[in-house]
DNA sequence: AAGTGATCATAA
DNA sequence: TTATGATCACTT
């Protein structure tokens, strides 16, 4: 039975490794083209730590309810990118509540793995940092809940096209698609359906930056 | 430089 | 196509 302690031991075992050392240990090849290695590290770390969710809409470590997120840190010591949380089922998300939402399921407990994301360092030389097992504070959760509720309400009431990435204090809604041709259905203002880009919830960098700061990282 | 919108890889 | 893993690239 996997426990949080076991999980942290696994993290200790890979801490400090370079991406190429990790690839070696897992017998993986790092794609040569930068465009082809998006997401590579995340998949490699999943393999190394033994996640169990596959492509289900559930936290990576199902039994523990823990979501795994790599967090690239730029040359300024801050998160280089926003963090994708979950795809939004545009036609049904309004039936969820924050407490039973897939978004909260993934954010209630997160294993953050900071990694070097400084583009001046060759990809294969970047190293894995120290993992952090985290949960939102009540204050953070209140704002996440507020963001989620407002955005979900807009989606459910046909105002999706009015939403852009500027909405939300911690959470934002942005496209999450293979390309502009990959479409799905959402509600229009008449309550009918229209084709639109798939969307996802993302955490702003100012949020992940602050949570790292609170833990002295 | 930061932030938003667009895109890339893989599995089922 | 849907989910997962994200970062790229252009605008501001």
Torsion of CA A136, A140, A141, A144, to 10 degrees: -120
In angstroms, the CA A25 to CA A168 distance is 40
Check whether residue A55 has its CB closer than 7 Å to nucleic acid strand B. yes
In angstroms, the CA A59 to CA A66 distance is 5
- Residue whose entry in the numeric block shows the structure tokens 């990809």: A123
Residues 67-106 of A with CB under 7 A from strand C: 67-70, 72, 80-84, 86-87, 89, 102
| Dihedral sign, Cα of residue A128, residue A133, residue A139, residue A142 | positive
pLDDT at A199: 96
pLDDT (tens place) for every residue of chain A, 217 residues total? 889 999 999 999 999 999 999 999 999 999 999 899 999 999 999 999 999 998 899 999 999 999 999 999 999 999 999 999 999 999 999 999 999 999 999 999 999 999 999 999 999 999 999 999 999 999 999 999 999 999 999 999 999 999 999 999 999 999 999 999 999 999 999 999 999 999 999 999 999 999 999 888 7
- Residue whose entry in the numeric block shows the structure tokens 């949380």: A85
Q: What count of Cα atoms within 13 Å lies in the side-chain half-sphere of residue A92?
A: 5
> What is the token pair recorded at A107?
């954010």
State the nucleotide closest to A119 in CA–C1' terms. Answer: C7
In angstroms, the CA A58 to CA A89 distance is 14
Residues 24-43 of A with CB under 7 A from strand B: 31, 33, 35-36, 38-39, 43
Check whether residue A42 has its CB closer than 7 Å to nucleic acid strand C. yes
């Amino acid at each position: 039975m996997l426990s949080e302690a076991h999980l942290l031991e696994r993290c200790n075992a890979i801490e400090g490794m370079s991406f190429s050392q990790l690839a070696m240990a897992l017998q993986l090849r790092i794609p040569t083209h930068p465009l082809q290695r998006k997401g590579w590290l995340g998949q490699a770390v999943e393999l190394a730590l033994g996640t169990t969710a596959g492509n289900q809409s559930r936290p990576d470590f199902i039994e523990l309810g823990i979501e795994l997120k790599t967090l690239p840190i730029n040359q300024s010591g801050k998160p280089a990118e926003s963090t994708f949380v979950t795809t939004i089922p545009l036609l049904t998300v309004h039936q969820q509540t924050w407490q039973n939402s897939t978004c909260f399921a993934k954010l209630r407990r997160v294993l953050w793995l900071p990694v070097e994301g400084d583009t001046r360092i060759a990809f294969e030389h970047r190293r894995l940092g120290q993992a952090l097992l985290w949960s939102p504070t009540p204050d953070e959760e209140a704002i996440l809940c507020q963001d989620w509720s407002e955005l979900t309400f807009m989606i459910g009431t046909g105002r999706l096209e009015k939403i852009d990435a500027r909405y939300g204090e911690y959470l934002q809604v942005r496209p999450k698609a293979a390309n502009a041709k990959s479409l799905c259905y959402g509600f229009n203002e008449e309550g009918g359906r229209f084709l639109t880009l798939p969307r996802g919830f993302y955490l702003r960098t100012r949020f992940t930056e602050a949570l790292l700061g609170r833990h002295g990282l």
